[in-house]
């Protein structure tokens, strides 16, 4: 079942994260400001990552 989980984190620099995710083949989008989840709910994100299928992580 899909759901949103909020994890309190603090990243000082976003570039190392994006570089690592790109290295593993994930498509990163810094323009998309919301991701859609369970039952059509949206949540705001700074960056989003496309997973296989139509799944996104923000």
pLDDT value at 4 more than 60: yes
Domain limits, the chain: 15-57
Q: Residues 45, 35: contact at Cβ < 8 Å?
A: yes
In this structure, the number of other CB atoms found within 10 A of the CB of residue 49 comes to 20
Read off φ and ψ for residue 19, nearest 5 degrees. Answer: -60, -45
pLDDT tens per residue across span 21-58: 999 988 888 887 888 877 788 888 888 888 877 778 88
Which residue reads 């995710």 in tokens? Answer: 21
For 15-53, the DSSP string reads HHHHHHHHHTTPEEESS--EEE-GGG-EEE-SSEEE-ST
Instruction: Please tell me the pTM assigned to this model.
Output: 0.63
Residue 1 is predicted with a pLDDT of: 57
Residue 23 is predicted with a pLDDT of: 95
């Amino acid at each position: 079942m899909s759901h949103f989980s909020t994890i309190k984190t603090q990243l000082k620099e976003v570039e190392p994260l994006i570089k690592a995710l790109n290295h593993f083949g994930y498509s990163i989008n810094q323009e998309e400001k919301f991701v859609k989840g369970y039952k059509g709910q949206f949540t705001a994100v700074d960056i989003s990552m496309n997973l296989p299928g139509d799944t996104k992580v923000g």
